[in-house]
Each structure stands twice: as structure tokens, then as C-alpha cells.
Structure 1
Amino acid sequence: MKKDNRKNAFEVYNEVSDWFAENRDRGLIEKPYLDQVIALLNRNARILDLGCGTGQPILDYLTRQNLNVTGVDASQKILNLARKNFPSTVFIQADMRQLSLGNKFDAIIAWHSFFHLPGEDQPAMFKVFSNHLQPNGILLFTSGTEHGEAWGLIGGEKLFHASLSTKEYTQLLTNHNFTLLNHQVNDPNCGNATIWMAKYTPDNQHKDPKIG
């Protein structure tokens, strides 16, 4: 095992990129939530897949719905695989904590990626999310269920995870003008993931939810 990468979990993905590509579940258990997001978007919507990995299976599914998807990941080796898988897709190597693309999207998906950040780095991400979303844009992310840290194993390497509490995430969403649309805790049909879906409503604007 390599050193503990608490601050930069993406470095672990550089170590295990080939293993991850071979072993990442492609069963798309995320589909019900992706479909909920898609239902709120127009067909020309632009989606930011934040922590896109190799693009399998989420980015693949979104592009097959004729959506315009941009993939962002901090791991260079993971992105090399993603570019091979999807040569016509725009991929950007960036640490999500420093993300400043100068573009706004109709949805941001941070599925099993945001929760690799240390807890102290997570609150600032909600400003990053809002800076990259159109009004009424949709945010979808996963988290833990309580404030704390945990280590798992991936390809024989230790992998860091962290979460804030439900109360903290709820307050962060409110403080950054997000309206909660869906919150599922430990969904047994989705690998026991805890899912958040929210709409960005700056200045309490209430517009037609069909965006893009």
C-alpha cells in the first residue's frame, strides 16, 4: 500500500486506474436518479460530470441520451482511459476544489466523487457548484449519513471518504440558494448510497423547471 492520501484521494486513482476500469460496476444502479435529473432538463442541456472517472457507466449513459456532457477528474491516468472510451467528449483535468471553468451548466453530477474530499474542504464546494450552474440547474451528489471519516480499499490501496451531517448539508444547500428536491438515505436499490438532488434557485427565483 502507498501513503495515505487524505487530502488528495485522486492520487489513489492514479495508482489503481487499470484495476478500477476493469472492476467498476457498470450495472447503472444510479439510473433512477439520473433519469430524475434528465426529466428536468431539455434535450440540449449541458451536464458537468464532476469526478467522471473513466466515463463508465454514468457519462456513457448521459451521452447516449443525447446530452452534452463535460467530464472533469483530477486523476490524469483515469482521464487517459476516459478519453480512449469517449474520444469525442470534452474532458478536463482539474481538482474540483479549484474548479473555475468560466462556463455554466444545466446540471452537475458528483456521484461518489465529492465524498472523497476531507470534511473541511466540502463546504466551499457549494460555492463552486453554484458558480457552475445556470439558474434552476440541478445538483446531484452522494454523501455519507453523518459527520465523520472512513477508509476503504480499492485495488489494494487505501481510499479516503468523508461526510458532513445531514443537518450540515441541508444548511449548506439553503445558504447557497439550493432547493432540495430529493434526499434518499442508504438506498438499498442503489448500493446503499445516500443521494442528494437539489435545484439552484438564486434570489429565490421560481422558473419553469425545464431548463437547458
Structure 2
Amino acid sequence: MTDPVEAAAEAIIGLYTRHADDWARMRDGTLNADEGPHLQRFAAALPEGAEVLDLGCGSGRPIVHWLIGQGFRLTGVDASPGLIARCRAAFPEHEWRLDDMRGLDLGRRFHGVLAWFSSFHLTAEAQAAMAAVYARHLRPGGVLMFVGGPGRGVSMGTWMGEPLYHASQAPTEYRAGLEQAGLIDIEEVALKPGADDSARVWTARRGMSD
């Protein structure tokens, strides 16, 4: 018998594919109060006109839209055809790739890599492998930001009446993986300041030597 938690982990792409229109309606607005300060930190660390890779870009709103408004050049990757189609229609001057972030290798490097509430839908083991994906897409000095949980484990939710899978490594595991991938200046802060059970926002930078 298939484990329901494992099944939910495998079903994430299908879930967002079936409900692409619902997701787009839910997020067709402005940055929320929790995410805004962190994304502003990310943008402030990038050079003018930076090239940014958004892993799990969704429909492009509100985050891609906001980043483009900061003058950045976006490349977005998402595994949902419906969500990528929305990005292409809304922002045709930027680049959109239908692909799975796991094992991704675009053969290019960016000033910034963002995985905002996207890689946390992967299993902890798949997230461990993402450190190498992040690193190989960063230019020397490039900035990474992604979201994890407060501790190792699985958290199940419900969205559109279906199971919604989230997982996290332990903070020590995230840090060790990033260090092993050659990333430096690693920081972990709570999404909601002062909340011990809050999601964690991780930032790191690729060293200047290659």
C-alpha cells in the first residue's frame, strides 16, 4: 500500500497543475506583510539590472512582477504548464522554463537565485540535493534566498480539498549542505520575527573565487 505522505509528496506538481487558475487568483496581488521585508533584503543585495533565477516561479504574481519592477531580468522555472503559461503571457520579455527544479542545470549563472516557498514542497532528501542546484546557478558573489521550516520533519496541509505536502531539513543540515556546495555568508532568520515556529528564510552567497 502506498504511504499517503509519500504519495502527497509525489503529487505536488499535479496539484499545482490542476489548480493553476486557483493559485493565480489567490496570489494575484501585492507582496504580503511577512514576505515583503525579506524580498526587499534580497533585492537590495543584487546589482542594478541583475539577472535573477526564480525556482518555482508560479504564475509570476506577485513576486516576479515585483522583481521586474525593481529592474531585474527574470528567468523563471516551474513544473506546472498552466503557471508557466501565465508567466509567458504576462511577461513575454523575460524567460520562462517548464522544468523540475530537482537536478536542474540551465548551463548559466545568475546574480540571484530565489526559491520562495517552493523548494519546501520537496522531501528533505530532495532539498539536500538542491544546495548543488543553487550553487551551480550562482555567479561568484551571487545571492541565494530560499525558505525552509523551523526543524526537520514533514508538515501536511490541505489546499483545494487535497493533501498539501511540506518538508524541512534541520537547520544544521541546511547549513552543512550550503557550506559543502561552496556557499558562504549563510544566514537563517524567522519569516515572522520572534516566532519560534515560523518558517525560516535562508540567505547565502557564492564565494568570489570559482
> Do they superpose with TM above 0.5?
yes
Q: Which moved more, 1:151-160 or 1:183-192?
A: 183-192
Identity of aligned residues (%): 36
Show the counterpart of 2:56.
51
Matches within 5 A, 1:24-35: 24=27, 26-29=29-32, 30-35=35-40
Show the counterpart of 2:200.
194
Show the counterpart of 1:82.
87
Residue 70 (1) aligns with residue 83 (2) = no
- The alignment partner of 1:97 has SS state of coil
Show the counterpart of 2:104.
99
CA distance in 2, matches of 1:113, 1:160: 11
Matches within 5 A, 1:107-126: 107-126=112-131
Greater than 3 Å deviation, 4+ residue runs: 188-193
For residues 96-145 of structure 1, the C-alpha deviation after alignment (integer angstroms, 9 at most, x for no partner) is 01311111001000000010111111111111111111011101000111
Question: Does the 8 Å contact 2:155/2:167 carry over to 1?
Answer: yes
Show the counterpart of 1:23.
26
CA distance in 1, matches of 2:156, 2:28: 20
What is the CA-CA distance between 1:37 and the residue it aligns to?
1.8
CA distance in 2, matches of 1:176, 1:119: 16
Show the counterpart of 2:138.
133
Show the counterpart of 1:208.
none
CA distance in 2, matches of 1:32, 1:193: 14
Residue 153 (1) aligns with residue 158 (2) = yes
Question: Does the 8 Å contact 1:173/1:180 carry over to 2?
Answer: no
Question: Can you give the 5+ residue segments of structure 2 that lack an aligned partner in the other structure?
Answer: 1-5
- The alignment partner of 2:8 has SS state of coil
What is the CA-CA distance between 1:181 and the residue it aligns to?
4.7
Question: Does the 8 Å contact 1:48/1:70 carry over to 2?
Answer: yes
CA distance in 2, matches of 1:81, 1:156: 23
Question: Does the 8 Å contact 1:13/1:75 carry over to 2?
Answer: yes
Residue 6 (1) aligns with residue 9 (2) = yes
For residues 65-84 of structure 1, the C-alpha deviation after alignment (integer angstroms, 9 at most, x for no partner) is 11101111011111112222
What is the CA-CA distance between 1:52 and the residue it aligns to?
0.2
CA distance in 1, matches of 2:133, 2:108: 12
What amino acid maps onto 1:107 in structure 2?
A: G
What is the CA-CA distance between 1:44 and the residue it aligns to?
2.3
TM-score (norm 2): 0.88
Question: Can you give the 5+ residue segments of structure 1 that lack an aligned partner in the other structure?
Answer: 206-212
What is the CA-CA distance between 1:162 and the residue it aligns to?
0.7
- The alignment partner of 2:9 has SS state of coil
Question: Does the 8 Å contact 1:7/1:118 carry over to 2?
Answer: no
CA distance in 1, matches of 2:18, 2:60: 18
For residues 18-71 of structure 1, the C-alpha deviation after alignment (integer angstroms, 9 at most, x for no partner) is 111111273313221222122222112100011000001110000011110111
- Compared with structure 1, are the counterparts of its residues 49 and 186 closer, same or farther at alpha carbon in structure 2 (3 Å cutoff)? closer
Q: Which moved more, 1:143-152 or 1:83-92?
A: 83-92
CA distance in 1, matches of 2:152, 2:198: 17
TM-score (norm 1): 0.87
